[in-house]
Structure 1
């Protein structure tokens, strides 16, 4: 699974996300080695930072922490297991049919993709909520239920690794501290973002847009209108909903509804739904309960500096 460096450090020591700067050489430094970075923002690979000189060990070895189930939904399955999972979903999951044990690979069981239904004789298998994520079949509200504990579990794991290194005064203490800052920065970004869903009436039909913003949605709507007026003679935008602290959902939405994606030039977050499909999509979004922040999440949003002070 590819992992890319998405954050660089500015002259004030603040982590800056790749999405917040222009492509090309930057004044930002690698958070691990302080090397100079270039922002790679092409159309094929994910946007990421690359070292101007030799790539440092944590980045080369892909050791830095990333958010679980955020920008990759393959749950670290092998290519063979992923292909089998997709086949099983197409043949059995969609129809809610039980899956015979001879079709199930050990990798899918170990990864928690399938579970045994003991009420059937002989016992057969069915998809778990986690197993529905790689095929984009899990509803958004249930996706939150699966991902949220994993996000906090990973935070705890990164914190424990840092505290252990600090206690032992380990050689990799600086790396562990950077891991912690990076993970908190990623969490803060999704928690401080609101998800929005727009209906856009153009002169040739209706399209829809999913997105996230850390600003008032009305400001984002004005930008969307300007973007689209380069492609349509008339554009009217209606906000169908906003969901605070739900920046984690945008990429899974794109994964789940990828078959409805409707690129407009270089704009990629637009969708074409028929009347019935958009009712289902909107219902799926509206079923998400308001996000209740944990104490750890509140701490991250408030940028509590106690960790930094302790480390320094």
Structure 2
């Protein structure tokens, strides 16, 4: 977990992806310390404190979106390895999993559930359990993630309300938690997911990505990026999905074996014809995103912090 947002002079939260690297005029949303944008090629892009890192950031206590950029679901390394093994040996073939192979950690995390229709009792994968290994379809991923996004928002709202009622010393932290989470939520709702076919003089590539601008503006940038690597570039839009910024990183996780980095460009994929059909079907089966009133309020920033309405 890295800090991805800083506060500008107007009190607006600014995402790390919207500024250039180096020292900034932004402040930490928790302690008001100056921030430096770290945007290298190894670690995730993030903000670092110019001075000593404050407690919420140092201890990773600030809120992040569930199942957005971390798909291990807080499993231990041992449990994650066991989950992958169980999928390879049993899940792929939909075989029942004997109880002696199931660890308490996997059950506690909701990765497996008992199959009550067979004897002796055995276990099978839940939809949540398929996410760490990237085998859950995109449509079902949305069905798992979306309730978690709203549940966490409600939890943060209740924590803020409680701190406000008690006039607790951590009231400012609770308000910052809520603002930071809503900013992250707004960003994924504001994005359009796109999937492209890119014909070059060296073959066909595919690209996944998100944008908050008209797709034609993004295509112009992509052509410019690829000009350094290919003599000819022709791009075809295979699909766009409104308000689906939540899916991009899970797509990369799910189809990581097809990833084809081009220099520092990491969102490209090499796919055979049959693979393209599978990927497109996966994307096209996603239901159109219907915004709830909560999500509309987040997008339109309909918030009175004296009486926060979630």
Match of 2:284 in 1: 286
Match of 1:38 in 2: 36
SS in 2 for 1:11: coil
Aligned-pair distance for 1:61?
1.3
Q: Using the alignment, how far apart are the partners of 1:103 and 1:24 within structure 2?
A: 49
Cα displacement string for residues 47-77 of structure 1 (whole angstroms, at most 9, x for unaligned residues): 1101000001111111110000000000111
Aligned-pair distance for 1:309?
7.0
Picking from 64, 67, 70, the partner of 1:69 is 67
TM-score, normalised to structure 2's length? 0.98
Aligned-pair distance for 1:267?
0.2
Q: Does 1:140 align with 2:116?
A: no
Q: Where does 1:182-221 land on structure 2 (aligned, <5 Å)?
A: 182-221=180-219
Q: Where does 1:153-192 land on structure 2 (aligned, <5 Å)?
A: 153-192=151-190
Aligned-pair distance for 1:80?
1.0
Q: Using the alignment, how far apart are the partners of 2:146 and 2:22 within structure 1?
A: 34
Match of 1:256 in 2: 254
SS in 2 for 1:262: coil
Q: Using the alignment, how far apart are the partners of 2:280 and 2:308 within structure 1?
A: 45
In structure 2, runs of 5+ residues without a counterpart are none
| Kept in 1: contact 2:8–2:27 (CA 8 A) | yes
Match of 2:128 in 1: 130
| Kept in 1: contact 2:297–2:303 (CA 8 A) | no
Match of 2:4 in 1: 6
In structure 1, runs of 5+ residues without a counterpart are none
Match of 1:25 in 2: 23
Q: Using the alignment, how far apart are the partners of 2:24 and 2:229 within structure 1?
A: 31
Cα displacement string for residues 104-160 of structure 1 (whole angstroms, at most 9, x for unaligned residues): 001101110001111111121110000000000000000000000000000000000
Aligned-pair distance for 1:305?
2.9
Q: Does 1:225 align with 2:257?
A: no
Cα displacement string for residues 135-194 of structure 1 (whole angstroms, at most 9, x for unaligned residues): 000000000000000000000000000000000000000000000000000000000000
Q: Using the alignment, how far apart are the partners of 1:52 and 1:219 within structure 2?
A: 35
Q: Which runs of 4+ in 1 moved over 3 A?
A: 308-311
SS in 1 for 2:32: coil
Match of 1:15 in 2: 13
Q: Using the alignment, how far apart are the partners of 1:239 and 1:287 within structure 2?
A: 17
Count of residues in correspondence between the two structures: 309
Q: Using the alignment, how far apart are the partners of 2:226 and 2:14 within structure 1?
A: 28
Picking from 243, 246, 251, the partner of 2:244 is 246
Q: Using the alignment, how far apart are the partners of 1:115 and 1:305 within structure 2?
A: 40
Q: Using the alignment, how far apart are the partners of 1:7 and 1:151 within structure 2?
A: 18
Q: Using the alignment, how far apart are the partners of 1:258 and 1:166 within structure 2?
A: 44
Q: Using the alignment, how far apart are the partners of 1:43 and 1:94 within structure 2?
A: 35
Q: Using the alignment, how far apart are the partners of 1:83 and 1:9 within structure 2?
A: 39
Aligned-pair distance for 1:310?
6.4
Aligned-pair distance for 1:236?
0.3
Q: Using the alignment, how far apart are the partners of 2:186 and 2:290 within structure 1?
A: 15
SS in 2 for 1:154: helix
Q: Using the alignment, how far apart are the partners of 1:173 and 1:82 within structure 2?
A: 37
SS in 1 for 2:119: coil
Q: Using the alignment, how far apart are the partners of 2:250 and 2:286 within structure 1?
A: 14
SS in 2 for 1:13: coil
